[in-house]
Amino acid sequence: MTQTDKALQFRALHRPGRPLALYNIWDAGGAATLARAGAPAVATGSWSMAAAHGYPDGERMPLELVLTLVGRIVETVDLPVTVDFEGAYALAPAEAAENVRKLIATGAVGLNIEDRIVHGEGLHPIADQAERIAAAAGAAEAEGVPLFINARTDLFLGTDPATHAGRVDAALERAAAYAAAGAAGFFVPGLTDLALIARIARASPLPVNVMMMGDLTLAQAAKAGAARASYGPGPYRSAMQDMADRVAALA
């Protein structure tokens, strides 16, 4: 498949109520395992990729290494590949756009871009983040690739669940702005309350991506109207715990 074919196929996999399950991986070997198991697409996880190569999360891993690893993943599997691109490794929209062009050059067809200020405090103001998303969308258009920009908001991740109901309106305001800027999906990691997920899924102009955390099940995410379910760092942690258990059993 061409990169454009993969991009269109990936976009079509986002169906509210029938979520695309993405078991996030961190290297080409993991991607190959997913392909053999019948996965329709491959997604990286930034935390997992960083940890697997000796770096903390938060754009501490060199961008060039990220691009090299993504290139190996794309070359290894004939599936759509989407990348957890954190904050696009840049603050300024023009620099973010240039990094998105580099990512597209690897053959990737999707990315997550978060509104948390990496190496800073809080979230980007809505207008600023919308400008960054628009720059990424413009870069994709210039390259002729219908890139799936999954706009992530960090309104919920790491915050008190008791405050989540009060954050929904702010999340929907961001969803609307990000959609207008050219995003294709809206990611709400940290939100596990099914009623709130359903509320956002009904009102969001974009298909909603949830992170599988706590007791949240794929069936529940589907019923709530999610179009995508990501497993984040969970697969890496499970794999490393399995390795530790096996080594301990040798003692």
At residue 117, the pLDDT reads 98
The residue ranges of DSSP E strands in 115-247, in sequence order, are: 148-152, 185-187, 208-211, 228-230
- Report the length, in residues, of the chain: 251
User: CB atoms < 10 A from the CB of 113, how many?
Assistant: 22
Instruction: Provide the percentage of residues in the chain whose pLDDT is more than 90.
Output: 99
Residues of the chain with pLDDT under 70: none
Residue range 56-95, pLDDT digits in tens: 999 999 999 999 999 999 999 999 999 999 999 999 999 9
Measured in degrees and rounded to the nearest 5, phi and psi for residue 223 equal: -60, -30
Q: What integer pLDDT is reported at residue 187 of this predicted model?
A: 99
Can you give the pLDDT at residue 251? 86
The pLDDT > 70 percentage for the chain reads 100
- Alpha-helix runs per DSSP H in 124-193: 126-143, 168-181
Kindly give, in sequence order, each residue whose CB lies less than 8 Å from that of residue 202, ignoring residues fewer than 6 positions away: 225
